Amino acid sequence: MFRAKALGTTIPVTPIEHAVFDSWLKKEPASIQGWVKSSGFSAKPGEISLLAGTDGKLSRVLFGVKDHDGFWDYASLPTALPAGSYRIDARMSVAGATAAAAGWALGGYRFERYKSTKARKLPTLVWPARADKARANAMAESISMVRDLINTPAEDMGPSELAAAARALGRSHKADVKVITGDALLKQNYPTIHAVGRASDDAPRLIDLTWGRKSDPKVTLVGKGVCFDTGGLDLKPAAGMLRMKKDMGGGAHALGLAHLIMALKLRVRLRVLVPAVENNVAGNAFRPLDVITTRKGITVEIGNTDAEGRLVLCDALVEADSENPDLILDFATLTGAARVALGTDLPALFCNNDKLAADLAKAGDAVEDPMWRLPLWRPYRQLLESKVADINNVSEGGFGGAITAALYLQEFVKDTTPWAHFDMMAWNVAGKPGRPAGGEAQALRAVFEMLEKRYG
């Protein structure tokens, strides 16, 4: 993917911002002007023009970019260029060179675990002169980790395999990983995690990773780890079940972000909690209108077994909050309502702290990793009222479904604890450069940017 030094055959790639294309072209030799005009190249973002030398061999690549420092601008090149060695022929800032390298790496991402025939060998890039190699590698590794975990079918990525992935991550960073499994969840008072996952042959579990110095600020990540969601006894139709291997996308995000934090040695006391379950159908499955007493002591009536994500998260959030952390961030593929409101590319952000929300939004804008804040609208809390328990896990009618889901989770976090909840798709429906169809990390880079600004 990368090489340290240019070869004699290394081909320069000249990035050209579309906005300055005309002024750039006037400075080029007549031969270049003639070729560009005859070929129709206009430096639109992602557009490529291959230039041949006098020997007929490829000698230069012209490449249209929106921004020299854009994260995704260079992601289309690895699959668009012929095999060979390339270098970016431009003076770049440290941030721009690092983003270009990470974008190039992600442009070469492929999920080929189950392919008997591998795709062609990709071209290599000479490390841009000012790139932060450790940062670019860590960013690409983290996003690739999230994608790999989500893309792996549930047969090979159940609760036990997700726990194994967390243990491997812990070993690579000398982090401590503990896993509470099966009936031990009941003994240690995680009843909703147990209830949701008990119908699966792969026992439910709570993954608990800790890293960093105890004296540093406590940052806790919580990720929904529903490794497959049938809907439970409120069974999903076939179309609704098709992509449910991705329902552990929140857990994948928590682990991927943890890798980035640990690899770049952020000065935090990190804790990651991932309730890993499979919401299955069996004789011991939890039922509609069952009442479960949560870890916090709040009783919840099960209005729908397909709203299981908030159930496994609520016990984990209570545990996260028990340490009075500096902040809690949770990630979940929680509601279809958020997708209806914002589409598949834009994660919904819910937050009980305006400063934290503003910092996240600012970070998202800075690194081209957007999110959109939706309100924790308290009047909708009444929609979760239950006649027989303290709260219902769903509202009647489904209106404001993403908001009521977030309000449910808010019941399990103290008002004084800064908390942000991300309701995301974690999946690219259609591919884009560097972002192929399939599992995707959303808001991960934005969250890290915010954390680095606070604790770097």
Residues forming the active site: 236, 310
- Give, in order, the Cα–Cα distances in Å from 111 to each of 71, 121, 256: 21, 14, 16
Query: What is the per-residue burial (b if ≥16 Cβ within 10 Å, else e) of 71-109?
Result: bbbbbbbbbbbeeebbbbebebeebbbbbbbbbbbbbbb
Nearest partner of 339 among 232, 411, 243, judged by Cα: 243
Is-contact 279 303, C-beta < 8 A?
A: no
Nearest partner of 207 among 272, 278, 294, 279, judged by Cα: 272
Tokens of 121: 């060998």
Report the distance separating Cα 42 and Cα 47, nearest Å. 8
**Helices and strands (H, E) in the chain, number of each type:** 15, 20
> Which residues are bridge partners to 299 per DSSP?
293
Is-contact 227 277, C-beta < 8 A?
A: yes
> Which residues are bridge partners to 177 per DSSP?
209
Is-contact 67 19, C-beta < 8 A?
A: no
Q: Which DSSP string corresponds to 46-75?
A: T-EEEEE-TTSSEEEEEEEES-TT-SSTTT
Is-contact 228 247, C-beta < 8 A?
A: yes
Tokens of 256: 């991927």
> Which residues are bridge partners to 372 per DSSP?
348
Runs of H (alpha helix) within 297-388: 309-321, 336-342, 354-366
Report the distance separating Cα 255 and Cα 106, nearest Å. 18
